[in-house]
């Protein structure tokens, strides 16, 4: 059971979720999670789903997926379409993003309302049968049931018609969205083939380890891009050192229990292998960037 201090921590904005000078745009948004998810879905177009919606993305539109903060996202959204956020954008004027961005926006909107929420990094089992695909969801506090609930704010009616999930995406079971730490523990114990975890041409234990670090940073309210690299992350198919493997074992074990976040944050604060530095490496753009 989460304590009051933990809930207060996740009910306030972090560096990435803070809407900054665009905070007023969040006033008056729906409080019901289903309605709020629909708002997010009307603002963002997933870059890897764009062709399924019949949209061809120009390079300058794809570049929007590299925006890290909600404030920067809102600035771009309003430049494209300055109507209230509750009015769904045309596909051609939606912000281009990915699963992390749907989750980040949902968390930012909930935190603006004083509701505890946090993006989580891990793997979805409902995109490619038999594989665990790199994915983010928003973990929200359900006060009525006293538990953390996984909400996939990305899956709209169109995607649901393609994926046909056999569960409520607004209360995703933890064996359908697998927290990165859980995937790591299963892979290290031999219960899961790590080569089934990843995305596109990137699969394996090295990828799971990167997501463990991203998830730990997200629990510390530093929700980085899915391709940002730092600390104990390794290159594709590179093996972590025995010391780092033991470290990731410890981090992963702490992240699995939704109520163990304070322990993860303590690890994050004291170890540079987890902590986001001032400069990170954007693996897609192949360059170092200021956070």
In the chain (291 residues long), the average pLDDT of successive 10-residue segments reads 90 98 98 97 98 96 98 98 98 98 98 98 97 98 96 98 98 98 98 97 97 98 98 91 96 93 93 96 97 94
Q: Is 183 exposed, middle or buried (0-12, 13-18, 19+ CB in 10 A)?
A: buried
This prediction has a pTM of 0.97
Query: What's the pLDDT score for residue 31?
Result: 96
pLDDT at 2: 80
- What pLDDT does 237 receive? 79
Quote the pLDDT of residue 202: 96
Residue 115's nearest CA partner among 90, 151, 88 is 151
For the chain, the structural domain boundaries read 4-290
How much is the pLDDT for 14? Answer: 98
Determine the Cα–Cα distance for residues 239 and 207; give it in Å rounded to an integer. 11
Interatomic CA distance for residues 34 and 32, integer angstroms:
6
pLDDT at 34: 97
What's the pLDDT at 26?
Answer: 98
What the block records as the tokens of 23 is: 């905070």
Residues 6+ apart with CB under 8 A from 201: none
Compute the distance between CA of residue 250 and CA of residue 135 in angstroms, rounded to an integer.
Answer: 22
Assess contact for 283 and 235: CB atoms under 8 A.
Answer: no
Q: What is the pLDDT of residue 238?
A: 87
3-class DSSP assignment, residue 275 = coil
């Amino acid at each position: 059971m989460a304590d009051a201090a933990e809930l207060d921590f996740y009910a306030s904005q972090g560096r990435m979720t803070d809407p900054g000078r665009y905070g007023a745009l969040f006033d008056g948004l729906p409080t019901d999670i289903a309605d709020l998810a629909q708002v997010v879905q009307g603002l963002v177009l997933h870059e890897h789903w764009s062709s399924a919606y019949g949209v061809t993305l120009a390079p300058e539109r794809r570049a929007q997926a590299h925006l890290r903060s909600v404030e920067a996202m809102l600035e771009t959204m309003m430049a494209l379409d300055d109507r209230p956020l509750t009015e769904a954008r045309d596909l051609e004027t939606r912000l281009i993003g990915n699963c992390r961005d749907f989750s980040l926006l949902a968390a930012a909107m909930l935190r603006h309302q004083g509701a505890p929420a946090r993006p989580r990094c891990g793997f979805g089992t409902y995109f490619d049968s038999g594989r665990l695909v790199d994915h983010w969801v928003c973990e929200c506090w359900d006060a009525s049931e006293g538990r953390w609930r996984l909400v996939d704010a990305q899956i709209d009616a169109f995607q649901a018609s393609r994926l046909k999930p056999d569960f409520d995406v607004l209360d995703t079971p933890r064996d359908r969205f697998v927290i990165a730490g859980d995937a790591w523990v299963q892979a290290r114990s031999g219960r899961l083939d790590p080569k089934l975890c990843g995305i596109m041409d990137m699969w394996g234990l090295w990828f799971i380890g990167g997501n463990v670090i991203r998830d730990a940073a997200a629990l510390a309210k530093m929700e980085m891009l899915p391709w940002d690299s730092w600390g104990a992350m390794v290159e594709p198919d590179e093996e972590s050192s025995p010391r780092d493997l033991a470290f990731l074992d410890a981090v992963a074990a702490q992240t699995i229990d939704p109520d163990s976040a304070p322990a993860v944050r303590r690890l994050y604060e004291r170890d540079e292998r987890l902590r986001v530095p001032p400069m990170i490496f954007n693996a897609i753009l192949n360059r170092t960037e200021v956070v």
